Amino acid sequence: MSRPLFAHIDTAALQHNLSVARSHAGQGRIMAVVKANGYGHGLARVAHALWATDGFAVASLDEAVQLRELGWQKPILLLEGIFSADEITACINHQLTVAIHHFEQIHMLQAARLASPLSVFLKLNSGMNRLGFKPQDYLNALTQLQAIPACGDITLMSHFATADDDYGIADQLQVMQRCFSQLSYPVSIANSAALFRYPAHHGDWARPGIALYGASPFAEMTAQALGLRPVMTLHSQIIGIQMLNTGDALGYGRAWIADRPSRIGVVACGYADGYPRHAPTGTPILVNGQLTRTLGRISMDMLFVDLTELPTAQVGSTVILWGKGLPVEAVAQAAGTISYELLCARAQRVPERDIA
């Protein structure tokens, strides 16, 4: 008999969230970001649910090929581009679009004998300082791409570092506008946070990621307030109950000491399943639809919940770790991390179940 731990994946919620993102993009197209196995939701499942989108963005050639094998015929963007010249032929064969963010990639294209045009997104480092050409090098990079006979469609690209916080996008946007304003190419700059907070700057291709999976990109605003629905709900059950007296210790390291007679539930979920080990006492959790808290340290396969105020909870009672009724960002905030990490870190041993 399997453990009572599984992830419900609500594909209808994916479709709903795509519609919400599209409403913010206006006339712009949506490049749905499905890297990291669809943010931990399953690449094939996510792709089929988001089939109405205009394009997909992934991090690896393997992910792109998998999408083509599923029958997807619209654009696929490799967000990190090519890593070696050997990948160029595969990109041509599968009609992929590649991000170009350093001169070595341009040199690979210059040396290649391209049998067909290769579309590119030319990335500007507008201040995030992760990938992309510095503003002073951007026009040179574009000129070199334009001189490559088999270079296909070109899109101008950048990425906001602080669209989700109070610092905002003004500084980076100024750099982008200075570099892009005299160039007559499509533009792609908006991630989820920029798309929802600054919809006037969605560009020709918006690239929503986390919002599609029903999590808010903002610390101070819930997904529900943005009109989004959670896609992944992580379910488990109470598998044991312990009665503690005042002064009794709980779990590894005696990390929690009962300050009153307490009723403790043991849940079949731990850090080997992707639940954050660093989640402290007080992290929110639902038992039979009622909000309570975790206690003590997270173990590899189990964690503790406080049932003292939940007298009807018993062995077999339903537990929701995050998802429907408990936003994943609330759990992430309590654990000092972000929803992206929790969704992507769910372990392979946790089975998935689709719901309509």
**Residue 252 is a catalytic residue:** yes
Among the listed residues 152, 52, 170, the one whose alpha carbon sits nearest the alpha carbon of residue 95: 152
> What is the Cα–Cα distance from 270 to 82, expressed in whole angstroms?
37
SS3 content of the chain, % helix, strand, coil (to 5): 30, 25, 45
Residues composing the chain: 356
Out of 74, 134, 167, 252, the active site residue is 252
Annotated catalytic, 198?
Answer: no
Residues 35, 138, 213, 340: which is the catalytic one? 35
DSSP output for 6-34: EEEEEHHHHHHHHHHHHHHHTTSEEEEE-
Give the relative orientation of helices 170-180 and 135-146 as an angle to the nearest 10 degrees.
40
Q: DSSP secondary structure string, 120-152?
A: EEEEB-SSS-SSSB-HHHHHHHHHHHHTSTTEE
Residues serving a catalytic function are 35, 252
